[in-house]
Amino acid sequence: MQSGVAKMRRDYIDTGYSPKDTDLICEFHIEPAEGVNFEDAATHMAGESSIDSWTEIATLSPELAEKLKPHVFYVNEGEQTVRVAYSEDLFELGSVPQVLSAVAGNIFSMKIVDNLRLQDIAFPKSMLREFKGPNFGLSGIQKLVGVKDRPLIGTIVKPKVGLNPEKHAEVAYNSFAGGCDLVKDDENLTDQKFNGFEKRAELTLKLAEKAEAETGERKMYLCNITAPTCREMTRRMNILKDLGASYAMIDIMPAGWTALQTLREEAEDAGLVLHAHRCMHSAYTRNPRHGISMVVVAKLCRLIGLDQLHIGTVVGKMHGEKHEVLTLRDECVLDKVPADESQHVLSQDWGGLKPMFPVASGGLAPTMIPDLYSIFGKDVIMQFGGGIHAHPMGTAAGATACRQALEASLEGVSLQDYAKSHKELDVALGKWLKK
């Protein structure tokens, strides 16, 4: 056992403590290293994430420690779970980076744990008050698009990268004309030499407008503003605003939390909806024994105020069990999320912060729409990349097949029956329905 384990203050375990309304509460999964006692690991984790060091420090007076010490108020060694209440005074309440530097910082590097996972953070009202949450959110977007009684249908221009701006805009136009409400860039398309940001935005927004005039439906283009600096992302956001866009898209994990907090402010000034693509999240979230859960990522996004967020599909190509995806959906949309011990979810009162619009994307085909509708209901954005552009009759037909499959689902008609009088759907069934 390391000497630090024996020397740190030992009064952080406090199972008699009732968390205060003002405390920030975290649930952790802890796997101590060999030879390290579970409570010692929890004590050090709690100390390192708040006020303490590896050894007793003379500069930490007993009075100060008493005031700011963490309280490990729940310990379940069998389940390898602890919950820690942190005084709000430990935090810069409006700073996601500072909060993460504490409760998701050095602790992941400690030798005394083999694995450590931050399962959830419950934010106190004092912290919620420092954030605005989504500006548009679920109902604001439904109002903007003029659709609230069905899921929205979106696509991702494919191939991911490689098209020039003209071709990109044409693929977007065909998607809109066929029935998509939303068309977005792929996560790795930003401002490459073959497809510059400004030209792409200009041409695609122009054709979105044309499709609006032709179809009588609102058509939204989600252009990816992810860039090396906040200043450049703001510049790109302002270009979109000047071109009359309603949306900006951002790769939330590569861009980082400071960027998201900055962009939330800039987006409000520009009047733009923020679409959050979560690529890279699995580097943090996928290992069930280590890292940071997607629940934490989703909650931080709602707190900061992204308007819509990818949460998984259940039926598509990315990992994510149904219960996990529905937990994320609840954190996006509910005002009061109840605790769910089995899912390591803490109760969260969002205090009226607007809901985010959940996005299901990744490996979806039109044939999955009945399942998606039964899983998510109407308050979801369904996105089909390959599932639209690989349609044998082309992109527009792929989008039409999605709308037809959605109509069938809303009317409670089987896809096979609906396909009898809807050619695009019929062809899609021929391609994607498992025989």
Q: Which is nearer to ligand CAP, 218 or 286 (CB)?
A: 286
Residues 183-202 within binding reach of ligand CAP (CB under 6 A): 186-187
How far lies 277's CA from each of 34, 122, 298, 397, in Å?
38, 23, 11, 26
Candidates 2-10, 110-118, 190-198, 355-363 — which segment interacts with ligand CAP by CB under 6 A? 355-363
Which lies closer to Mg ion via its Cβ, residue 157 or residue 353?
Answer: 157
Give min distance, CB of 296 to Mg ion, in A: 22
Smallest CA-to-CA distance from 14 within 84, 78, 81 is with: 84
211 HSE (CA, 13 A, CB side): 27
With beta carbons less than 8 A apart as the criterion, state whether 31 and 77 touch. Answer: no
The site map against ligand CAP for 233-272 (x = CB under 6 A) is ----------------------------------------
Q: Is 4 near ligand CAP (CB under 6 A)?
A: no
Sheet holding 291-292, edge to edge: 71-76, 81-86, 24-32, 113-122, 291-292
At residue 386, what is the residue type?
Answer: G
- Amino acid 262 reads T
Residue 239: what are its φ and ψ, rounded to 5°? -60, -45
Please choose which of ligand CAP, Mg ion, none residue 47 contacts, taking the beta carbon within 5 to 8 angstroms, the exact cut-off set by kind: none
Binder of residue 410, out of Mg ion, ligand CAP, none (CB less than 5 to 8 A by kind): none
Cis peptide before 159 (omega within 30 of 0): yes
> Catalytic annotation on 158?
yes
Give the range of 57-65, 217-225, 310-318, 349-357 binding ligand CAP by CB under 6 A.
310-318
Environment class of 66 (CB within 10 Å of its CB; exposed 0-12, middle 13-18, buried 19+): exposed
Strand partners, 155: 183, 384
Which CB atom, from 70 or from 398, has the smaller least distance to Mg ion?
A: 398
Instruction: Give burial (CB, 10 Å; 0-12/13-18/19+) of 3.
Output: exposed
389 is catalytic: no
- Name the residue number minimizing CB distance to ligand CAP: 385
Helices (H) and strands (E) in the chain, counts: 19, 15
> Residue 303 in contact with residue 131, Cβ under 8 Å?
yes
What letter represents residue 184's amino acid? K
Identify what 363 binds: Mg ion, ligand CAP, none; CB under 5 to 8 Å per kind. Answer: ligand CAP
Q: What's the rounded Cα separation, in Å, for the pair 313 and 154?
A: 14
- Mask for 312-351, x = binds ligand CAP (CB under 6 A): x----xx---------------------------------
Nearest distance, CB of residue 335 and Mg ion, angstroms: 30
Closest distance of CB 52 from ligand CAP, Å: 37
CA 26 to chain centre: 19
Q: How far is CA 61 from the centre of its chain?
A: 41
The option from Mg ion, ligand CAP, none interacting with 317 (CB < 5 to 8 A, set by class) reads ligand CAP
Site for Mg ion in 155-214 (CB under 5 A): 186-187
362 is in the binding site of which of ligand CAP, Mg ion, none (Cβ under 5 to 8 A by kind)?
ligand CAP
Report in angstroms the alpha-carbon separations of 147 from 152, 219, 405. Answer: 8, 11, 17
Report the residue from 107, 387, 401, 422 that binds ligand CAP according to the rule CB under 6 A.
Answer: 387
Residues 239-278, mask of contacts with Mg ion (x by CB under 5 A)? ----------------------------------------
Written as one string, the DSSP assignment of 76-105 is: ETTTTEEEEEE-GGGS-TT-HHHHHHHHTT
Nearer to ligand CAP, 131 or 384 (CB): 384
Choose, from 29, 158, 299, 422, the residue flagged as catalytic. 158
Nearer to ligand CAP, 187 or 324 (CB): 187
Question: x/- contact string, 366-385, with ligand CAP (CB under 6 A)?
Answer: ------------------xx
Helix (H) or strand (E) holding 154: strand 152-156
Q: Which is nearer to Mg ion, 282 or 343 (CB)?
A: 282
Q: Using CB under 6 A, pick the residue from 81, 142, 195, 361 that binds ligand CAP.
A: 361
Least Å distance between CB 310 and ligand CAP?
3
Distance CA 111, CA 338 (A): 34
| Residues in contact with Mg ion by the rule CB under 5 A | 186-187
| Residues in contact with ligand CAP by the rule CB under 6 A | 156, 160, 186-187, 278-279, 310, 312, 317-318, 361-364, 384-387
Active-site residues, by number, are: 158, 277
